[in-house]
């Protein structure tokens, strides 16, 4: 049996439950420690989730020799700061997306010496689920003929304006928090077609009463390697929609919900007018992701969402902000 990972969590974040805690318990990995800026909060979180130790600072957790891999769900503006700190402490890193505030900041991680070959893993969890892998295989195999259009939606209603997704200092915005997903999906589809995604234009909207630099919605118009259009929509105003639809000359592939597989695992293939509904299991995308993290650390397996991929995705996010006429998110690092 593969030795369990020994995991530390930076922050008592709500997302950590789905992203790491539940998958770790399902796969038999160890939840060694959690840190928060308030010790009492960390202790309460540790007690609620069965985590062995609690710390009142991130630095204390990083100094814990029993922690070997760090999950970094800090605000977007803090991702690179704490990824660098974890690497310097000799820890592998699973970072939440987007990888940094901008591409230049993300490249600071690439410039950091890593002689031990520590794994750096960006949390695009959908990329590891069999349903999404099947979609990419179908695209690449020509199952629906020549691809003529791609549509990816990443939308939900974030009506709490105090949420960090609306915060300029914390590198918020729909393209940052949600668009990074649809760009990643489109990049993978483009790769399955043998090339790269090319953004052409971006239309963004703002929400009255919020920082005008923070986009509430964004529509990215791009082209796939064969010249087919890709329309990628992100929205913090909803309605909820997490679909991927690939249209071809012979039919379509629809992934009904590429984020919440546990709610809807349908992959609907339509070829020559005949529908086939495939189910690839409701095991969460996050569980598949953590299995891949363990394989990378324990077995040296490849990491499709590693550092080079993370930088490439941030470069696309930056390009989309330029096309939208909006400023890049600012780095808090020197």
Domain(s) labelled CATH 3.40.50.720 in the chain stretch across: 6-124+288-305
d(CA 170, CA 168): 5
Distance of CA 269 to the CA centre of its chain: 25
The closest alpha carbon to 100, from 85, 115, 122, 119, belongs to 122
According to DSSP, residue 215 is labeled -
Q: CA end-to-end span of the chain, whole Å?
A: 44
CATH top class, domain 6-124+288-305: alpha beta
Task: Look up tokens 């003929």; give the residue.
Answer: 145
> Quick one: DSSP state of residue 137?
H
Q: If you search the block for the tokens 């130790």, which residue do you land on?
A: 53
Give the pLDDT confidence score for residue 334 in this predicted structure. 61
**Cα separation, 141 vs 277, whole angstroms:** 18
Nearest to 140 by CA among 19, 225, 264: 225
Q: What is the pLDDT of residue 122?
A: 98
| pLDDT at 81 (0 to 100) | 98
pLDDT for the residue 332? 84
DSSP code at position 37: S
Dist CA 96 CA 10 (whole Å): 11
pTM strictly above 0.75? yes
CA distance 209 to 164: 15
As averages over each run of 10 residues, the pLDDT of the chain (334 residues) reads 91 94 98 97 97 98 98 97 98 98 97 97 98 98 98 97 97 98 98 98 97 98 98 98 98 97 96 97 97 98 97 98 98 81
Rg (CA), the chain: 20
pLDDT for 2? 81
Please check whether residue 165 is in contact with residue 158, taking contact to mean a CB–CB distance below 8 angstroms: yes
CB-side exposure of 184: number of CA atoms within 13 Å?
Answer: 30
pLDDT of residue 333: 86
Q: What residue ranges of the chain are covered by domains with CATH 3.30.360.10?
A: 130-282
Do the Cβ atoms of 13 and 117 come closer than 8 Å? no
Q: Which CATH architecture has domain 130-282?
A: 2-Layer Sandwich (3.30)
DSSP letters spanning 20-36: IIHHHHHHT-EEEEEE-
């Amino acid at each position: 049996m593969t030795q369990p990972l020994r995991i530390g969590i930076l922050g008592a974040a709500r997302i950590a439950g789905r992203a790491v805690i539940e998958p770790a318990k399902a796969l038999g990995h160890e939840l060694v420690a959690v840190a928060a800026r308030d010790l009492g909060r960390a202790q309460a979180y540790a007690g609620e989730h069965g985590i062995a130790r609690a710390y009142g600072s991130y630095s204390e957790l990083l100094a814990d020799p029993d922690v070997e891999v760090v999950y970094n769900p800090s605000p977007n503006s803090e991702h690179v700061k704490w990824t660098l700190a974890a690497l310097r402490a000799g820890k592998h890193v699973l970072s939440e997306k987007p990888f940094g505030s901008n591409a230049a900041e993300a490249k600071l991680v690439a410039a950091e010496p890593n002689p031990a070959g520590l794994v750096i893993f960006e949390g695009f969890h959908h990329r590891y689920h069999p349903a999404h892998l099947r979609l990419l295989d179908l695209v690449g195999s020509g199952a629906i003929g020549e691809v003529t259009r791609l549509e990816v939606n990443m939308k939900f209603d974030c009506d709490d304006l105090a949420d960090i997704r609306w915060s300029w200092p914390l590198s918020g915005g729909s393209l940052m928090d949600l668009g990074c997903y649809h760009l990643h999906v489109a990049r993978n589809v483009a790769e399955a077609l043998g090339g790269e995604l090319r953004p052409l234009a971006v239309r963004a909207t703002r929400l009255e009463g919020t920082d005008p630099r923070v986009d509430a919605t964004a529509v990215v118009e791009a082209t796939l390697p064969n010249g087919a259009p890709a329309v990628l929509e992100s929205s913090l105003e909803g309605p909820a929609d997490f679909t991927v639809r690939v249209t071809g000359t012979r039919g379509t592939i629809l992934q009904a919900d590429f984020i919440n597989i546990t709610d809807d695992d349908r992959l609907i293939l339509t070829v020559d007018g005949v529908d086939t509904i495939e189910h690839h299991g409701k095991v969460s995308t996050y569980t598949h992701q953590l299995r891949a993290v363990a394989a990378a650390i324990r077995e040296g397996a490849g990491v499709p969402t590693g550092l080079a991929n993370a930088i490439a995705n941030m470069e696309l996010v930056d390009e989309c902000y330029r096309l939208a006429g909006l400023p890049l998110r600012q780095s808090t690092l020197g």
